[in-house]
Every structure is written in C-alpha cells, then in structure tokens.
Amino acid sequence: MDNWFKLKERGTTVSTEIIAGITTFFTMVYIVVVNPGILSGTGMSFNGVFIATILASIVATLIMGLWSNYPIVIAPGMGLNAFFAFSVVQGYGVSWQTALGAVFIAGVLFIILSLTSFRYMLLDAIPASLKHAITAGIGLFITTVGLQNAGIIANSESTLITLGNLAQPMTYLTLIGLIITVTLMAYNVKGYLFIGMVITAIIAWFMGLFQMPESMVAMPSGLGETAFQMDLAGVFSNGLYTIIFTFLLITLFDTTGTMLGVAEQAGLLKDGKFPRSRGALLADAVGTTTGALLGTSPTSAYIESSTGVAAGGRTGLTAVTVSILLGLTLFFSPIVSVISSIPAITSPALIIVGFFMISVISKMNWSDLEEAFPAFLIIILMPLTHSIATGIGIGFIFYPVLKLLRGKGKDVHPIFYIFAILFFIQLVFLDH
C-alpha cells in the first residue's frame, strides 16, 4: 500500500488517510440528498438519480485516487445540476433524456481534451475575470433556487420577485435550519452541511412535516429508469450546441481550479505545476460520461476535499476511503428520499454553497471596465434569466466587443472570438 500511494514520501499514514476520507465524506455527502432532489424535479426517477449519483462519484473518485493519487473527491457538481434541471430541461423545454445526451457528448469531448494539450489552450482563452464571474453567477443562481424552494422569496406580478410568507412552517423551518448550519460553519464543525441537514430533519419530524419511512435501508433499485435513457438525436435536433459547450466549459475550469486549490493546500504542486493533471482531469471526464450513461448531471472536483486535506489527507487513499463510504450510502435510499423532499432540509445547503461560490468576486478587478462589465453581466443575468448559458453567452459576447472598441482586440484569444460568435448565433437566431 505504501508503494502504491507513496504514504511515507508524502508524510502520512494509513490511519491518517482514513480519517481524512471520513472527514471529506461527511462534508460532501449532502450531494446524495440534494442532487436527486433537484434532478427528480425534471421527471427523473429519484432512486435512479440517487444510484447514478453515487456510482458516478465512486467511479470518478476511484480513478482520481488509484491513478492520480490525489485526495480529491469527484461527484455531480452543484450548479451543473441546477443548470441541467432549471436551464436546460425547464428553460429550453427539452426532455431530461435529451439533456443527458448533451452531458454525454460534453463528457466525451472532455475525455478527448484531457488526453491532449488543447485543454490548456481552452482554459487560457478565457479571461480570469470571466472564470470568476461564471462561478459567482452560478452561486447567485443556486442561492436564488434555494430561496425560492423554501418560500423565502416568491413570484410577484408587480415586482417579479418579493418576500415570501415567512409564517409558513416550511419557510421558517428553513430559516431555522439556515441559522443552525451557519452557526456550525462559524464554529468550524466538520461536516456542518450534513449535520445541519440532520438536525433540521429531526426538527421537521417533531413539527410533523414528514414521516419516517417504514424502513431506513433497502436494496438499491430503480437505476433502470434512468440508465442508458439519453437521447443523442434530440441534442442535435434541438440545436443544443451551446449547452454542450457550457457543460464542458464549466466542468473543465471548475474542476481545474478546484484541483489546483486542493493540491496547493496539500503541498502537492511542484514549481507551481500540477503533476499528473491528465489523469486527474480524465477522472472527472470519465465521471461525467459515466454519469450521463447512468442518469445524472456532470461531475466536478469537490472543494470539500480541502477538509480532508486539513485533516492530514495527502494521497489517493483518502479518495478511496470516500468511495467506500459512498458505496455504503446506496442502501439508505428510503430515508434519503424522504429528506430530499423537504425544502427546509435541502435549501440551506443550496444557499450556503451559493455563498461560497459568489465569494470569488473579491478576486476580480472592478476598476477595469473592460474586464468587470462583461463579468457583471454574467453574474446578474444568470439568476434573472434563470439560465446559466444565457448569462455566460451575453458576457462572452460583450467581452470581445468592448476590447475591440477600445482598440485592444489583440488582447483577446482567437478562440474566444469563436466562442462569442457561437453564443451570438445561439442567442439571436436559435430557439433558447
């Protein structure tokens, strides 16, 4: 085991790696509740998505741990699942089978990119300001979804959005759950999101908002309702080319940024470079493709992996430990199904994840109009149009236009002009 994971070389032990894996697991296991809860809103089978979420996470995380030897976990990404459900299926009006087809194509393209140096060119073509804006915009979008699901904000004919009825039991329970979870977070409690959900669920049970299932455990079933159901032909008949690009774009740089951050925290970067990056990116690419085959949205590296690193995790054994624990959760679908159906339990997690994502705006240079204004459009239009792709598209169009008008067209990467033209065609001439 030491030879495979290089435990001594990285100054760690088996017990430390296992503890780190347990720590990471409890900070990210909320996704097995939240992800099927979001995607089932499109008509997908909850149990099918639940199993697909876990299996795709296990496959990708095992590749990350056993091949690249990094303590990084991969699972369906927050933001990507919201984009899948609310922008693609509900916004574009396509079936979830067609949306899975778009994810699959994006995953295949991601695999190809991971095996070539073109992945670096694609990442370099996108300005840092727009990368940060996309992350922040998705965070604001996720927070909006959480607030709406909980009833904290509601639709209004006069103002479009207004304050909801806080006297509703589900709404004020959400506020209670949010306060509990933020308090746990403030005290640096490991697994605060998951623990907050458990405490809120207990309160909800005492309030009579849900009943416990007859059985807490059950053999996994229902995967056949989502597995191999993707509609590839529908992707092309509906012209979802920018959707494919958006899935690919977000997954690529979100994963890359997270991996670099966690690897730097663990002291695994060498001269500022990311060793074995090909295998690490390939793990996510395979996870995304596997997820599409089984029935879930794209995977991404989880920033929650940093909690395991903080607990001493330095090798892929941490990731392998998480994979084993994820496998055990396959047998708890009855209780997960009940919990995910209660907005007060899942909404605080959406709001808090959005908070962390939007915090990247502090890294942006707001005094540079050419960089800041397109970024601002991306951030504000994602929640207002309820479409991540639309926000990205308009920002990507404005960026080169402003640069050209300022006589700085050469500062824009040639590939970026292609991005802008494709988004312009999609937004102006194609149904979206």
Q: The whole model's pTM is what?
A: 0.82
Mean pLDDT, residues 309-317 = 90
Q: Are 421 and 397 in contact (CB under 8 A)?
A: no
In which domain, by residue range, is 226 found?
A: 8-429
Q: How many CB atoms lie within 10 A of CB 64?
A: 33
- By percentage, how much of the chain surpasses pLDDT 70? 98
On whether residue 373 sits in a domain, the answer given is yes
Question: Residue 71 pLDDT more than 60?
Answer: yes
Nearest residue to 68 (alpha-carbon basis) of 302, 322, 279? 279
Residue 431: pLDDT band (50, 70, 90) is low
Residue-wise pLDDT tens digits, 203-262:
999 999 888 888 889 999 999 999 999 999 999 999 898 899 889 988 887 788 788 778
Average pLDDT, integer, range 59-67: 96
Please say if the pLDDT value at position 432 is more than 60: no
Q: What is the dihedral of CA 216, 219, 220, 225, to 10 degrees?
A: -100
* Banded pLDDT at 81 (limits 50, 70, 90): very high
Mean per-residue pLDDT for 314-341? Answer: 93
Q: What is the mean pLDDT of residues 361-372?
A: 92
Count the domains in the chain: 1
pLDDT at residue 430, rounded to an integer: 64
Give the Cα separation of 11 and 30 in Å (integer).
30
Residue 170 is predicted with a pLDDT of 94
Position 352, amino acid: I
Q: Sorting pLDDT into bands at 50, 70 and 90, what band is 307?
A: confident
426, 244 Cβ separation under 8 angstroms? no
User: Dihedrals φ, ψ of 298, to 5°?
Assistant: -60, 150
Closest CA to 17 of 316, 327, 328, 326: 316
- Domain membership of residue 158 (yes or no) is yes
Residue 3: inside a domain: no
Answer yes or no: is 1 within a domain: no
When pLDDT is cut at 50, 70 and 90, the band that residue 267 belongs to is confident
Please name which of 215, 228, 310 lies closest in space to residue 262, comparing C-alpha atoms. 310
Q: Please state the three-class secondary structure of 25-76 as a single string.
A: HHHHCCHHHHHHHHHHHHCCCHHHHHHHHHHHHHHHHHHHHHHHCCCCCEEE
Report residue 123's pLDDT band, with 50, 70 and 90 as the boundaries: low
pLDDT in tens, 166-212: 999 999 999 999 999 999 999 988 778 888 988 999 999 999 988 88
pLDDT at 121 over 80: no
For residues 334 and 213, is the Cβ–Cβ distance under 8 A? yes
Q: Is the pLDDT of residue 273 over 90?
A: no
For residue 215, give Cα distances in angstroms to 114, 261, 388.
43, 41, 39
Question: In degrees rounded to 5, what are phi and psi of residue 180?
Answer: -60, -45
